[in-house]
Amino acid sequence: DTEVTQTPKHLVMGMTNKKSLKCEQHMGHRAMYWYKQKAKKPPELMFVYSYEKLSINESVPSRFSPECPNSSLLNLHLHALQPEDSALYLCASSQGTWVRGNEKLFFGSGTQLSVL
């Protein structure tokens, strides 16, 4: 199984809503990532979990709250988002061994989020 599964595929939410994005992988990877991608732009790194611990937070606003309940699951909790947060949110995973820089990322298909 070389898949990273993200749910939901599409999400529309109001600025006062609370929602969660979910990501799952069963490749035994120990690093998991959240990226944000706006249309026609490259993915921007948000968070990295390494061995279930948050290792990188790229100065993301607190209205985005990541959670890694176990080595296979990664969540992104959303609260009080702004319209400019509308984007494709991508989850990725990698082995997490950080050996000589060869971290091959496996991406999910993403959640297309619209904030109204």
Partner 1 sequence: GEDVEQSLFLSVREGDSSVINCTYTDSSSTYLYWYKQEPGAGLQLLTYIFSNMDMKQDQRLTVLLNKKDKHLSLRIADTQTGDSAIYFCAESIEPSGGSYIPTFGRGTSLIVHP
Task: Candidates 12-20, 48-56, 63-71, 72-80: pick the segment binding partner 1 (CB under 8 A).
Answer: 48-56
Taking phi over 0 as left and psi of -120 to 50 as alpha, with beta for the rest, 110 belongs to left
Q: Is 67 in the site for partner 1 (CB under 8 A)?
A: no
Report how far residue 104's alpha carbon sits from residue 94's, in angstroms, rounded to the nearest whole number: 6
* Closest CB 61 distance from partner 1, rounded Å: 20
Asked if 116 and 85 touch (Cβ cutoff 8 Å), the reply is no
Q: Is 51 in the site for partner 1 (CB under 8 A)?
A: no
Candidate list 17, 20, 50, 75; residue touching partner 1; CB under 8 A: 50
